[in-house]
Structure 1
Amino acid sequence: MRWDRFFDDLEDQLASEWEAERAALDTEAERLRLSRVALRERLTMLLGVDAAASRLAFEFSDGTTVRASVSGVGADWVALQPSEGRAGAVVAPFASVATIAMPHHDLLRSARPAPARSALSDRLTFGFALRDLVRRRAGVAVHLASGRMLSGTIDRAGADHLDLALHDPGAPRRADAVSGHRIVPFAAVAWIRIEGAAPLA
């Protein structure tokens, strides 16, 4: 009888050690997986999360904070739908996102494995998104990392810069309304508000 108890104890101890080793391996595998997760994947997991319910707040390199939901994610940019303030979508390069505030449950959700993305979405660069704004002739407010804001219409978008025709917010881009032109490197852009626009996706 004592031998039976002895073997039961040994079996329980072995099972307990095996569970602890398996948990350690699972933890290490999760750490390894998380070490390979990119910001783009975490933002993808936040697509469709209601900004008002989740309290997502994006702080940009110019010091501005925008409460918004994620409406689209490109190769190197995010599209947002602000939950307060003026109407219009926001598009920002990943490099200009300083922090993203959110409740803990959304933080954990964003770290889950993301679904596979199409090869096409990986080619949708910040320049591609801006060329869509050129095509739409949308009025924009370009917020620079320096803290300045330029209002106008994007005339052209190159590989790493945009040409902006300056005019008053809300005014159509007409030759007589344009007060100047600027070349703006993408690296100088903190975020862009698209006036009265539906979200980019």
Structure 2
Amino acid sequence: MRWEALFADMEAQLEAAQAAERVVEVADLTRAELAGVELGDRLRAALGAEVRISVAGGHVVAGQLLEVAAHWLLVAEGPRRALVPLAAVAAVRGLPARSAPATGEVARRLGLGYALRALARDRVAVRIVADGTELAGRIERVGADHLDLATGVDGGTGAAQLWAVPFVSIRVVRSD
């Protein structure tokens, strides 16, 4: 009987040690998996949710998250829309703990220029928040790293002024 109790005790100790190893292994695997999660993955998991986004320069975009691309996201602020370059995001509130899979190759190629060209094509009146300035007008042209914004086109105050705005300075593009 003593031997059976001894072996039963040894078996219980072995099972406890294996269970402890599994806990450590699961924790390590979880940390390793989380290390590969990008902000875009978390944002994609929040599609349709209400979010609050702080962007560089102290501006805030708050509303329903409508779209997330590789380099930008689109938020409905009531009837208006706000296009935010992912590089301008300083902090986000309202994200779930889970993440969504990465976008496909085609979606990855739809950069900020693609979204801005759509706004230019549709002749949408916009308000651009850039580093230290805010401009209102229509996007006339979109280059590889900048856009040309015509201001004063709807005010009837004479000829429009054309501003070249580098993508890296753009914080938010709002529908006007």
- Name the TM-score, length of structure 1 as normaliser: 0.80
Equivalent position of 1:100 in the other structure = 92
* Structure exhibiting the larger radius of gyration computed from Cα positions: 2
Q: For the Cα contact (< 8 Å) 2:44–2:68, is it kept in 1?
A: yes
2:104 matches 1:118: yes
Equivalent position of 2:27 in the other structure = 27
Partner SS, residue 103 of structure 2: coil
Provide the aligned C-alpha RMSD in A. Answer: 2.0
Listed as ranges, the gaps of 5+ residues in structure 2 are none
The verdict on how the C-alpha distance between 1:116 and 1:67 changes in structure 2, with shifts beyond 3 A counting, is: closer
Equivalent position of 2:170 in the other structure = 189
Superposed, which structure 2 residues align to 1:10-21 within 5 Å?
10-21=10-21
Partner SS, residue 119 of structure 2: helix
- Name the TM-score, length of structure 2 as normaliser: 0.90
Q: Which has the higher contact order (CA 8 A, sep 6+)?
A: 1
Partner SS, residue 67 of structure 1: strand
Match of 2:73, as an amino acid? V
Q: For the Cα contact (< 8 Å) 1:62–1:143, is it kept in 2?
A: no
The verdict on how the C-alpha distance between 1:178 and 1:120 changes in structure 2, with shifts beyond 3 A counting, is: farther
Matches of 1:82 and 1:20, distance apart in 2: 49
Equivalent position of 1:65 in the other structure = 60
Equivalent position of 2:77 in the other structure = 82
Listed as ranges, the gaps of 5+ residues in structure 1 are 196-201
How many matched pairs? 176
Normalized per residue, which structure has more strand? 2
* Superposed displacement of residue 115, structure 1: 2.7
Match of 1:10, as an amino acid? M
Identity between Structure 1 and Structure 2 (%)? 33
Q: For the Cα contact (< 8 Å) 1:165–1:178, is it kept in 2?
A: no
Partner SS, residue 48 of structure 1: coil
